[in-house]
A and B are shown apart, each in its own frame.
Chain A
Amino acid sequence: MMKFFRRNEKRQLMGLISPGALWILIFFNLPLLIMLFISFVERGRAGGIQIPPVYTIENYRLFFNACATEFAGPACNPWLYLSIFGHSVRIGVIVTFWCIVVGYPLSYFIAKQKPILRDALMVLVIIPFWTNFLVRTYALKQVLASEGLLNSLLNTLQLINQPLEMLFNEFGVVVGLIYGYLPFAILPMYTSIEKFDHTLMEAAADLGASPRRAFWRVMLPMTLPGVIAAFVLVFVPVVGAFVTPDIMGGGKVEMIGTLINRQFGVARNWPFGSGMSMILMVLVMIGVIAYFRSGSERERSAL
């Protein structure tokens, strides 16, 4: 009898998980396999891939040596793609840094409010998600443009006499990315800070720690899981971002995301685009695994 019930329960469980599992399998895992396959074949003459497929590892080699192609001119820079990747990581670090630096005090401020006000403020943080991301990015573009809101304001206040160049450069891209990803930094940090027992800050002060030292020695270490979650949630998508750099950079700021996007568009080089996607994925995965490893170690040592 017991056995029958167990089997029945198992069957029910299978029934419950299979729709989601199938969805992920067909629409996420299968396309990934297709991309993996494409990254190992030669491109077709008019785009797509060569049929029948010709297997090659050139797409990966190209990433590490941009001159390993028949189109390479004499001024070819072999480090081109690697430097774009490096540049993306740099932007990722800058954006994540500012999201955390700006988001932490804000999360703290929200967490300190009375419950009703706290919920209202969190809604304000989340509300932007209800507006289309593209619309928001275009709106920000209007604010930062040469004749835009910010320049006009600064001009009226006579703080500047010629418009600041805030668009179509790294500054614009960074501002756009911070603007877009700040809520992703606030949410996990808010959760950590909200759980933090403020008596511990009193205990630290009581033992002679100035507010600054109490923050570095007690509050920050204890809310670090939220900060690290914020780092992962912002850094990973920012490194691979392509919409924001495309709009805010106006094609002048190249990031790995825009580069990959171009391979599937104008460059018509699917295999190279797939190869770069794979490399990006693996590198990000290594980063995230390293994070979880260090996280579980912290947990272990905390026990």
Chain B
Amino acid sequence: MANEFAVEMQDVLKQFVTPEGGILSAVDHVTMQIKDGEFFSLLGPSGCGKTTSLRMIAGFELPTSGKIMIKGNEMSQVSAHQRPVNTVFQQYALFPHMTVEQNIGFGLEMKGVGKAERSARVSEALEMVRLPGMEMRRAKQLSGGQQQRIALARALVNKPEVLLLDEPLGALDLKLRKEMQLELKTLQREVGITFIYVTHDQEEALTMSDRIAVMSKGKALQVGKPEEIYERPANKFVADFIGETNFMDGIVKGQNGKVVVVDLPGSGEVRVESSRTFTSGQQVSVAVRPEKLRLNHEIEGGNNLKGRVEDVIYIGTDTHYGVRFPGGHKLRVREQNIKQSQKELARADDEVTVGFSTTSPRLLTE
């Protein structure tokens, strides 16, 4: 399988000279493989290197060192116009002096596709993005959502090996964005083209992606399926960036097979199942998601820590309880409001027990 990967980044480094004269590594020795036909997201806060990575795959930037392969062919130094990829830009970048038809047909025209075939394929592409009959409109006559679809059609009509999307939904309002997320996902499945999707919105990435690369400060911290990234974050940054996480710092007391005993100084001991091996006295962070905690509900064979409620926040679907333990550790507990009549499980200053199983937390060392 020579072409199992649509895109490969091999030890890619991209450095820029900053206005102050320093050197910034926007992408810092990143290696990742994007499989053929997958919906792959580059996720991270602004400045993490996700857009620069995308621009290097598109050919707008050339890597300082390292290799970029597209469909098994080295493309590191090939110009953008000779690469078999197309991009949907953040601000769409439709040509304002052209009609919708001319915009969508531009790529085909550059390839020398004849006028008749071109116009047939343009209509087809417009049907695909559910905007049939828009050929003669101008870009500025369209709404943001429509421009978005035209930009998508303009890229997809060329049947690229890989479609690159640079925060394409960023400029849309929330409701439209949710709609487009599902539509993009469906579209991707229909056309079977590899999508590489840049976003800073973790929920968007979780919703749409087959796999996600979480990036920070130019590095790819973790690459994996959404559930892997969420349930088994590799480090504190990923755990914190994706969803909400409680961290409690502690010291390993011992390990008995898979069960690691961690002392949280002053707050008690917790037992956590882990496939990794820890040594006694090692500093670790116990990371646990708020929805995996239960308030005043003892878990048999699990961890039950006693503490005091600091705050109670009602947010409609859930109620969040902030619980402080004697050693200063704090946990946020998320309880779903299943019954309308459900009374608060606890009030501020109440003494409570927080229960969670030994499989819920992750032990993170970095």
Contacts and interface: CB of A to CB of B under 8 A. Distances in A.
Interface residues of B, number: 27
Nearest to B158: A207
5 contacts: A197-B93, A199-B93, A206-B58, A221-B97, A222-B97
Contacts of B80: 202, 205-206
Interface residues of A toward B: which range?
Answer: 20 to 34
A211 B59 CA distance: 13
Contacts of B97: 218, 221-222, 302
Contacts of A209: 81, 106, 110
Contacts of B141: 303
Contacts of B119: none
A160 interface: no
A203 interface: yes
A200 B60 CA distance: 12
| Residue of B81, B91, B96, B158 with most partner-chain A CB within 10 A | B81
B61 to A, nearest CB: 10
B86 A206 contact: yes
A214 B93 CA distance: 14
B306 interface: no
A222 B158 CA distance: 24
B87 interface: yes
Nearest to A206: B87
Nearest to A203: B93
Interface in B91-121: 91, 93-97, 106-107, 110-111
A209 B154 CA distance: 14
A247 B135 CA distance: 57
B93 A207 contact: no
Interface in A12-66: none
B79 A207 contact: no
A210 interface: yes
B138 interface: yes
A213 B93 contact: no
A241 interface: no
A208 B59 contact: no
A274 B82 CA distance: 61
A210 B81 CA distance: 6
B106 A207 contact: yes
A204 interface: yes
A206 B106 CA distance: 10
Nearest to B60: A202
Interface string A201-232: 01111111111011001100110000000000
B89 interface: yes
Name the residue in B79, B85, B89, B93 with the highest tally of chain A Cβ atoms < 10 Å from its Cβ. Answer: B93
Given A202-B58, A218-B95, 4 more contacts: A205-B80, A206-B81, A207-B154, A214-B81
A203 B55 CA distance: 12
A202 B158 CA distance: 16
A210 to B, nearest CB: 6
A59 to B, nearest CB: 46
Contact of A302 (B86, B96, B107): B96
A302 B96 CA distance: 8
Contacts of B81: 204-211, 214
Given A199-B89, A203-B89, A208 B107 contact: yes
A202 B86 CA distance: 11
Contacts of B96: 222, 302
B93 A302 contact: no
B93 A202 contact: yes
A177 B165 CA distance: 50
Interface string A62-89: 0000000000000000000000000000
Contacts of B95: 200, 203-204, 218, 222
